[in-house]
Chains A and B, each alone.
Chain A
């Protein structure tokens, strides 16, 4: 039961992006297309699962004074792995994600889960937590990326949805930097309203 709870809480109740407002830098930067969002989500989820697993496994061995450097080394190792694998097999995605792959190291979500969950929960729960949080992060990125790609380019996963007339003159700002901030602001506002409705009903 609690395992199921650890798995599902990341998706809505403690969604790392919409509810906890963590991991903003890659979230805003790579959501220019759904493809990038999925790639980034997969990379971050992989690192999250591996780091949560190791941190949880070694939670009684790592001295608490040097735990943060230990976590950072664990995370950086897996980020390097992802970086090399992606460079070898998905060079286009690697190019479009650019410096945000090495920057997964400083993604607050991953260090936050290591520090806030994996270091005092058993391995299985930590794995469930990592999968849930990774899915929540990916889902959040896909939501924002869908808006940005559809408005800014008229496509979704590179499939033209709004016709060539729209594509000739799209709402370009959605795909540029300001669009990320403004659309995220509206999405967060929408979640606030949703939360208030839910609170009123109970």
Chain B
């Protein structure tokens, strides 16, 4: 891809053409994505890995890192495909198909590159990567960025913040579930039910952020 196209895309809004980078708006996006509209606890995206990988703290951290990484790359890929390919060709109705294919192939590519060049990182993140293709948080952030008509800069900021929010919820949940192992839970509520209950209580805590950042 032509680097000057990317650079000008980074600096300009596609819809209005006005000055693209506003620190205040960026802070608002960051706070909204991490706390107010937390991907897991307020938007209900990525519940499956949130429940599946939150049994231990270190796997939660690994999953969180993998999600932030893929989310950022997927945003870059989907933004480029949408604004440089689908919009000029008038094919925006194909965006769902295009995005999911980009994400699936990206995950595969990242897996192969990591396996070849960084075995250490691969052994840390490897098992989480296939799971990420069906993580709705990744496709969710790509679709949200298009819906909100963010520029490339805002989209990337939003993706990273959303990934951090996901990781935060995952790590908090993992810490709580490790304590929960020792707790005296009624037999009917053991396992998934009590995990949802804890998620609900955490979600109440995150409601307290509503109104922050506008």
Which 5 A-B pairs give the minimum distances between C-beta atoms?
A181-B200, A185-B196, A182-B200, A29-B44, A24-B47
CB < 8 Å: which of A29, A69, A184, A189 contacts B104?
A69
**Does B100 contact A72, Cβ atoms closer than 8 Å?**
yes
B96 near A79 with CB under 8 A, answer: yes
Which chain A residues border B97 with CB–CB below 8 Å? 73, 76-77, 80
Q: Mark A185-200, 1 if CB is under 8 A from B, else 0.
A: 1101110110010000
Closest to B206 in A: A177
Contact B203 A178 (CB under 8 A): yes
9 CB contacts below 8 A, A to B, read A25-B48, A29-B44, A29-B45, A69-B104, A80-B93, A102-B95, A103-B140, A105-B139, A196-B188
Max count, chain A CB within 10 A of own CB: residue among B104, B135, B189, B194: B189
Would A182 and B196 be within 8 Å (CB), given that A177-B207, A192-B189, A193-B188 are in contact?
A: yes
- Judged by a CB distance under 8 angstroms, whether B165 is at the interface is no
Q: Contact: A180 with B44, CB < 8 Å?
A: yes
A38 within 8 A of B: no
Hey, which bits of chain B sit against chain A, CB under 8 A?
A: 41-48, 51, 93-97, 99-101, 104, 133-136, 139-140, 143-144, 147, 186-190, 192-197, 199-201, 203-204, 206-207
Query: Is A83 at the interface (CB under 8 A from chain B)?
Result: yes
- Count of chain A residues with a beta carbon within 8 Å of a chain B beta carbon: 42
Other A-B contacts than A24-B44, A69-B104, A178-B204, 7 sampled, CB-CB below 8 A, are A21-B192, A25-B136, A28-B44, A83-B96, A102-B96, A177-B44, A196-B187
Q: Indicate the member of B46, B48, B194, B195 with the most A CB atoms within 10 Å.
A: B48
How far does the Cβ of B95 sit from chain A's closest Cβ, in whole Å?
A: 8
A179: chain B residues within 8 A (beta carbon):
200
Interface residue ranges of A144-197 to B (CB < 8 Å): 173, 176-182, 184-186, 188-190, 192-193, 196
- List B contacts of A173 (CB < 8 A): 204
Nearest chain A CB to B99's CB is how many angstroms away?
8
Residues of chain B lying within 8 A (CB to CB) of residue A180: 44, 200
Quick one: given A111-B134, A182-B197, A184-B196, are A24 and B48 in contact (CB under 8 Å)? yes
Q: Which residues of B contact A24 (CB under 8 A)?
A: 44, 47-48, 51
Cross-chain contact of A178 among B51, B147, B201 (Cβ < 8 A): B201
B147 proximity list for chain A (CB < 8 A): 99
CB distance from B51 to the nearest CB of A (A): 7
What's the Cα separation between A31 and B204 when bound, in Å? Answer: 18
Question: Which residues of chain B are within 8 angstroms of A143 by Cβ–Cβ distance?
Answer: none
Measured in the bound complex, the distance between the Cα atoms of B44 and A180 in whole Å is 10
A102 touching B143, Cβ below 8 Å: yes
Q: Which residues of chain B are within 8 angstroms of A72 by Cβ–Cβ distance?
A: 100-101, 104
The answer to whether B196 and A181 have CB atoms under 8 Å apart is: yes
Whether A181 pairs with B199 at a CB distance below 8 angstroms is yes
Which residue of B has the minimal Cβ distance to A73? B97
A62 within 8 A of B: no
A72 to B46, CA, bound (A): 18
Contacts of B139 in A (CB 8 A): 102-103, 105-106
Q: For residue B99, which residue of chain A has the nearest CB?
A: A102
Whether B41 lies near A25 (C-beta < 8 A) is no
Measured in the bound complex, the distance between the Cα atoms of B96 and A186 in whole Å is: 35
A83 CA to B147 CA, complexed, in Å? 14
